[in-house]
Amino acid sequence: MFRKTTLALLAALGVASVANATPILVTMTTTPNIGGTGNYALDFFYSATQNASAATSSEFTNYNLDVQSVTGNDLLDPVKATTQSLGGADVDTWMNTVYSLLGFGNASYQFNNYKPVGIGSNNPPTNRINWDVFDTGTGDTNDTGAGPPAPYKLARIIVAPGSTGTAKFSAFDSTSNGVPTIFTFPYAAVAVPEPATLSLIGLAIVGGLGFRRRKA
């Protein structure tokens, strides 16, 4: 009897481990010269781990976003009194949940770093933003029944050009344990030549070397 109970417990733990190991897809994209400001936008997207089986469907619960610049006070917040964005299009620093992004209700925040005493405090710029963001609704998986499907843009951080740093996004849902995804953002405020331009530059250098050798 003890052996059967032990095996059952181990099996249950095995199932739980598989469930907790379910990955959450988190991605980051960058947009240069966002809104014509000359700054960059770091956009963070979340896709729930829901699949076709209702037994393993997941629901977003909360996340932590920790963005740190190593080059100084490069993290900007043009409208510091705003903390979320309906639809996720505002040129500002904000963080949403799926629920608030789609306009169903407000998100809840814990300001661990930057705005620690509430919305509107601590003038930007800063070198670190670390927020815990909590969902306040239910039913917001990959298929909410309203609004666009996943992935959902849950956060945007406005960053000055020339900055370097890291962004750690730890998303949690009802079937996974929030393993952090770490991104880096090295930016240079210079234009990158296209391949054709690079080829011409290479030919010019080779030609110059040939001319100098012939002249010598």
Show me where the domains of the chain are located.
25-215
> According to the model, what pLDDT value does residue 172 have?
86
Ranking 15-24, 27-36, 46-55, 152-161 by mean pLDDT, the lowest is 15-24
Count of alpha carbons within 13 angstroms of residue 166, beta-carbon side? 6
Give the position of tokens 């951080």.
157
The alpha-helical segments, DSSP class H, found in the chain are 2-20, 98-101, 195-215
pTM assigned to the model: 0.73
Ranking 1-15, 24-38, 77-91, 187-201 by mean pLDDT, the lowest is 1-15
Q: Looking at the domain covering 25-215, what would its CATH class be?
A: mainly beta
Buried b (16+ CB within 10 A) or exposed e, 28-53: beeeeebeeeebbbbbbbbbbbbeee
CA distance 50 to 60: 10
Angle at 71 between CA 89 and CA 114, to 5 degrees: 55
> According to the model, what pLDDT value does residue 22 have?
62
